[in-house]
Amino acid sequence: MPHAEIQHDSTARGAAEAPATTSAAPADPVDPGLVMTSCANCGAQMVDRKCKLICSCGYFLSCSDYY
């Protein structure tokens, strides 16, 4: 069975696939304390009670979980 040659026009395809260059602003730094107190289940802020972080959805972390 003869092999068919496939020619690619790299100039037309290269222009279409070129990534767009945009100037992205640097991301705002995230407070690690807010990330630590965010619920992994629903994303709400958890309440600190003694040695536990408790969320209104029922999810909680004990002090040994977040060290």
What distance separates the 2 farthest-apart alpha carbons in the chain? 77
CB 57 within 8 A of CB 44: yes
Q: CA-based Rg of the chain, rounded to a whole angstrom?
A: 26
How does pLDDT run across 18-31, given as a tens digit for each residue? 556 665 656 667 78
Q: Could you tell me if residue 39 is inside a domain?
A: yes
Separation of alpha carbons 22 and 8, rounded Å: 28
* Model pLDDT, residue 35: 83
Residues 10-65 pLDDT 10s:
555 545 555 566 656 566 677 877 888 899 999 999 999 988 999 999 999 888 87
- Alpha-carbon distance of 11 to 29, in angstroms, equals 41
C-beta separation of 30 from 19 below 8 A = no
In a domain, 59, yes or no: yes
In a domain, 55, yes or no: yes
Q: Which domain holds residue 43?
A: 32-67
- The domain total for the chain is 1
